[in-house]
Structure formats: structure tokens, C-alpha cells
């Protein structure tokens, strides 16, 4: 039986050390590496479902194509620059007129692909857009999924099927939200863990449990 693992939201996590050294931006997922390794080992695609995406990564690629400067530098351009004609355009708006219901876009990667292969992180995070009928959703996944046609098709099917069953949003993620209840003893264990971590680091721990509850939301 085929299985798919979904995360609510982005798989991207900011690897500051790698970004500063390699200038690869935020297109790495070190916080999910163990999950990706397990998914790869058990032949299970892992994907992040992003509803209401506000990014313009694909549109910015079009901006680069429209740029008439030898070296792209938006800070030096005026309001009449060719790329200004797509100012404010988001990826979801772009694909709304391109994708029919159930269709997906091609796969996109970020700046990592400009590096030599030897400098790539263990897992590159790419994405595609899908028309669920209710919205243009963004699906992120590691390269072991996106570069395997079978995994990619399965992730596409699962994202669309789940969104139909959930009336516009994956039913599995809806149910996961309902089951993600943090009980009293679990909250207390969390507060103790935070306090002990601060103490071990030699930092003051003056926030009372009452104040911590007031300013912290747990789901």
C-alpha cells in the first residue's frame, strides 16, 4: 500500500551557516533531514502543503528574464524598467490562469541549483503548484521525491485527492489539527524543559508558569 507524509506548511528551514558560506538562501531543510531519510528508506514521499502562498519565486525568475541590465540590480532601476510591468504579481495569480483543475506546474528549485553539485546539501527543497479547484496550492518536497516520477505523481495525486475530500484543504491535515491536543501534564513538562534548558545554559529563568502560559500558545 502506497503512503504519503504531509506537513502543514513549509519544509524549508533557514540554514544560516550554509547560507552565509554558499549563498544558497533558505532552500534547505535541515530540521526535516531525519524525516526525509526515513521517507527515502521506506519509499514514502514527504511533502509540505502550503495554502494561501504569497511568494513570488517563479515571478521573480520572469523579472530576471525581463531585466535589460548586464547585472541585475533592482536598487538601480527606475520605474520604467521592463520588469516593473509584473510588480505585485504572485505565483498563485500567475498559475491561476495557467493550470486547470487538478493540474500541476513543473518543478522549481531555488538558488541551490546554481552551485556545483558537490556543494549541494543532502536534500534540496523544491516545489510545484497545483490547482485544487479551490485555490492554487504550493507543494514543497525534497529532491528524492521531486526527481522520482512515481513519487512525484503520488504526491500530486494525494495532495489533490486530500483537498477534494477536505473541501479545499487536505482532510488528513485537518484531522491532525483536531488530534493535536496538548494536555495539562504535557504542558507542565514543556515548561519544566524550558526552565531547565535556561538554567543549564546559565541564563536567568524568572518567568513564572503563569506568565509563560499567558504569552505562549500550544497547539
Q: What is the pLDDT of residues 173-182, one digit of tens each?
A: 888 877 777 7
CA atoms within 13 A on the CB side of 132: 27
Q: Which residues of the chain have pLDDT under 70?
A: 1, 13-30, 111-115, 205-219
Residues 97 and 187: their CA atoms lie apart, in Å, by: 46
Quick one: how far is CA 139 from the chain centroid? Answer: 7
Residues 32 and 199: their CA atoms lie apart, in Å, by: 28
Sign of CA dihedral 165, 170, 174, 175: positive
Q: Are 109 and 58 in contact (CB under 8 A)?
A: no
Give domain limits for the chain.
Answer: 5-55+90-178, 181-215
* pLDDT for the residue 20: 46
Name the DSSP class of 183: -
* pLDDT for the residue 25: 47
pTM: 0.75
Residues 36 and 24: their CA atoms lie apart, in Å, by: 20
Amino acid at each position: 500500500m502506497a503512503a504519503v507524509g504531509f506537513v502543514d506548511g513549509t519544509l524549508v528551514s533557514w540554514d544560516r551557516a550554509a547560507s552565509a558560506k554558499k549563498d544558497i538562501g533558505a532552500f534547505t531543510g535541515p530540521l526535516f533531514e531525519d524525516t526525509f531519510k526515513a521517507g527515502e528508506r521506506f519509499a514514502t514521499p514527504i511533502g509540505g502543503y502550503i495554502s494561501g502562498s504569497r511568494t513570488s519565486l517563479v515571478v521573480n525568475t520572469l523579472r530576471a528574464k525581463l531585466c535589460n541590465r548586464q547585472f541585475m540590480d533592482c536598487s538601480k532601476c527606475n520605474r520604467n524598467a521592463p520588469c516593473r510591468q509584473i510588480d505585485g504579481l504572485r505565483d498563485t495569480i500567475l498559475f491561476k490562469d495557467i493550470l486547470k483543475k487538478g493540474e500541476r506546474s513543473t518543478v522549481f528549485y531555488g538558488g541551490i541549483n546554481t552551485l556545483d553539485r558537490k556543494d549541494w546539501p543532502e536534500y534540496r527543497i523544491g516545489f510545484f503548484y497545483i490547482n485544487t479547484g479551490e485555490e492554487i496550492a504550493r507543494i514543497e518536497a525534497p529532491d528524492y521525491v521531486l526527481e522520482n516520477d512515481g513519487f512525484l505523481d503520488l504526491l500530486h495525486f494525494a495532495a489533490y485527492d486530500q483537498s477534494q475530500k477536505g473541501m479545499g484543504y487536505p482532510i488528513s491535515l485537518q484531522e491532525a489539527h483536531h488530534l493535536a491536543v496538548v494536555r495539562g501534564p504535557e504542558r507542565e513538562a514543556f515548561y519544566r524543559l524550558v526552565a531547565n534548558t535556561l538554567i543549564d545554559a546559565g541564563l536567568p529563568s524568572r518567568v513564572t508558569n503563569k506568565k509563560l502560559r499567558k504569552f505562549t500558545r500550544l497547539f
